[in-house]
Structure formats: C-alpha cells, structure tokens
C-alpha cells in the first residue's frame, strides 16, 4: 500500500506521495484510480533530494487522465508546504518540468515565484508565427499564454452565465493548441477578477487553478485592465488568490489546507482510457 497526504489549495485537491519512500510502478494508473476514488484533481509525487537550506524537491503532478502536467500553481503551493513541514524550512525550491520554482511558506500561506509568462507562439504553444491575442476561438475572444502550462483566457461579462461544460471543450481542444490548453474565463469586478477554469487533464472545471489565476492577471495587464506592476486579486470558486506582477514575472500567493491522509493500492486496476 502507498500512503498519501491530502491537501488542497483553494479547493484544488491533491494527494501527495513521498516518492523517495514509496515506489509506485505505474504512476499513471495509480493517479487515475486515486483521483476517481477520491474525486481529487491530481496526485503530486514529491522527492526531497536536498534537505540543506533551502531544501529542494522534484515535483511531478499526475492528473486524473493519467497524464503529467509540467506545472501546477496550487499543487506547487501544497507541495511547498508539505516539504517545509518535513524539513523545518520556510523556503523551498521545487524542480518542476517547467523549471525550478522558489516558494516561501508562511504558516498556511504559500507564495510561488511562477517565472516569466510567455505569449510567444512556440512557448505556449499555439500554431502560427505570432502570439494568439484577442482572437475568436470557438465563439470567445481569447488570448493564449503559458504560465507553466498553456491557458486560453477569455474575459466575459459574467462567469456564472457560462455553460463551461459545453463552451470550454471546443477551446481546450482547438486546432490552434497543438498540446491542448486549459480554458480560463475571467470577469472583471471592482476589486479584481472572478475566474473559472476548465482544466486539461482533469477534463472538467476545478474549484481553483493557480496557473489560470496567473494567466488572468498577466492577460489583464497585457490588455491594460491592470498596471504591469500590480497586485491582482483573482477569485476562482474555491477562494481568493493574489498575484504580484512586476512586469516580467509573477508571484502567486494563497492559502493551503491539510485535509488528512490515507493509503492506496500501489497497483490498482487501470482506469485510464487508452
Ligand atoms: N490546477 C493547476 C493546473 C494543473 C495543470 C493543468 N491542468 C494542465 O494540464 O495544463 C494549477 O493550479 O495551476
């Protein structure tokens, strides 16, 4: 059996497995099974490989479809808190497939330096030679940005009015996105933005998406909705995240919650569609 810890970041739910202590022979099948059983958004495999200051860990997110995502903003916040608790540290370096991310843990609150968002077509990726900015994609005016993973961001008048189960998949699977995209909708309010995201890999709406919140903030800055150096409040259904923009880079802040723990069969019957 494989023990895991359950965390959430603004209701983006993850099981965390100590990858140094426990070998999972098929991570894809394990994650698909555990996500289906628990109704969670992914499994984080964390391997602390340097416990000096600051400690360093490799973070791998496997999603409900059995695929691996290069980065996860809320997952990184939960991962940093998990590593901090085991190393008695308040600063943690996370090695992700999108690069190394410095994190700072302050009690329940965790900040992640998210790096430089990219609009470059090869980096998102999108087809074509120029950035995809305010183009009509499946009936929405979309701007594409990579904040560790690709997001297609559309500003709308009212996020509650969207039928996300119907409207997001044609964006998420659109031909312009050769690796697919998370479909993120945002509504400007007096104090910031409301957000809803349909996540690639989950293939449904999640209660929160950290890379999506950063995408909302950086696209808002690009469109002149907020200054390029600003602190932006973005509220998905699961809570409120704060994004510090400094022109080139973004820092994601928000709360994390320890939910509990459990254990699961290391070799479940495979539940991934192949
Ligand atoms: N929930 C995450 C994003 C996880 C990755 C995404 N679904 C993808 O496959 O691109 C977040 O908080 O950023």
Q: In whole angstroms, give the CA distance from residue 229 to residue 112.
A: 17
CATH 3.10.310.10 fits 135-248, yes or no: yes
* Ligand 1: nearest atom to the Cα of 202: 7
The verdict on whether 72 is a catalytic residue reads yes
CB atoms within 10 A of CB 10: 25
Q: Please indicate if the annotation marks 204 as binding a ligand.
A: no
Task: Report the candidate in 222, 244, 234 with the shortest Cα–Cα distance to residue 197.
Answer: 234
Contact by Cβ (8 Å): 145, 124? yes
Pick the CATH number of 2-113+256-264 from 3.90.550.10, 3.10.310.10, 3.90.230.10, 3.40.50.150: 3.10.310.10
Give the H or E element holding residue 50.
strand 42-50
Domain ranges of the chain: 2-113+256-264, 135-248
Q: Given this model, what pLDDT does residue 50 score?
A: 85
Cα–Cα distance, 196 to 114 (Å, whole number): 20
Tell me if domain 2-113+256-264 and domain 135-248 are identical in fold: yes
Residues near 211 by Cβ (< 8 Å), separated by ≥ 6? 71, 72, 73, 114, 147, 148, 149, 151, 182
**Residue ranges for the chain with pLDDT beneath 50:** 271, 274
Who's near 21: CB < 8 A, 6+ residues apart?
A: none
Atom of ligand 1 nearest to the CA of 182: 10
CA 68 to mean position of chain CA atoms = 12
Check residue 273 and give its pLDDT.
54
> Which residue is closest in CA terms to ligand 1's atom 2?
72
Residue 274's pLDDT is: 46
Let me know: does 78 contact 40? Beta carbons within 8 Å.
no
Of 113, 53, 99, 103, the closest CA to residue 82 belongs to: 103
78 catalytically annotated: no
**From ligand 1's centre to the CA of 58, what distance in Å?**
17
Instruction: Looking at the CA of residue 9, tell me the nearest atom of ligand 1.
Output: 12
pTM: 0.97
Q: If you search the block for the tokens 């022979």, which residue do you land on?
A: 25
Ligand 1 centroid vs 201 CA: distance in angstroms? 8
| pLDDT at residue 269 in the model | 74
229 is an annotated ligand-binding site residue: no
Pocket test of ligand 1: the residue of 71, 80, 112, 178 to mutate, having most ligand atoms within 8 Å of its CB, is 71
How many whole angstroms separate alpha carbon 186 and alpha carbon 215?
10
Residue 127 is labelled as binding a ligand: no
Local structure of 217: helix, strand or coil? helix
Q: Which helix (H) or strand (E) holds 35?
A: helix 27-38
């Amino acid at each position: 059996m494989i023990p895991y810890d359950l965390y959430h970041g603004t209701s983006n739910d993850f099981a965390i497995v100590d990858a140094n202590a426990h070998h999972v022979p098929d991570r894809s099948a394990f994650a698909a099974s555990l996500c289906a059983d628990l109704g969670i958004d992914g499994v984080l495999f964390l391997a602390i490989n340097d416990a000096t200051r600051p400690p360093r860990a490799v973070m791998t997110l496997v999603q409900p479809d059995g695929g691996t995502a290069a980065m996860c903003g809320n997952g990184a916040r939960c991962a940093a808190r998990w590593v901090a608790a085991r190393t008695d540290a308040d600063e943690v370096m996370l090695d992700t497939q999108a690069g190394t991310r410095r994190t700072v843990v302050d009690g329940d609150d965790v900040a992640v330096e998210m790096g430089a968002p990219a609009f470059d077509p090869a980096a998102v990726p999108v087809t074509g030679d120029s950035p995809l900015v305010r183009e009509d994609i499946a009936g929405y005016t979309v701007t594409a940005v990579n904040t560790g993973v690709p997001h297609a961001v559309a500003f709308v008048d009212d996020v509650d009015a969207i039928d996300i189960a119907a409207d997001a998949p044609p964006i998420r699977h659109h031909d312009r996105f050769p690796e697919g995209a998370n479909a993120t909708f945002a509504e400007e309010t007096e104090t910031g933005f409301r957000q809803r995201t349909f996540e690639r890999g989950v293939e449904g709406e999640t209660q929160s998406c950290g890379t999506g919140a950063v995408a909302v903030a950086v696209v808002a800055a690009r469109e002149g909705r907020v200054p390029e150096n600003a602190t932006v409040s973005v509220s998905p259904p699961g809570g409120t995240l704060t994004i510090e923009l400094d022109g080139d880079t973004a820092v994601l802040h928000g709360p994390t919650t320890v939910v509990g723990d459990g254990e699961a069969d290391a070799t479940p019957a495979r539940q991934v569609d192949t």
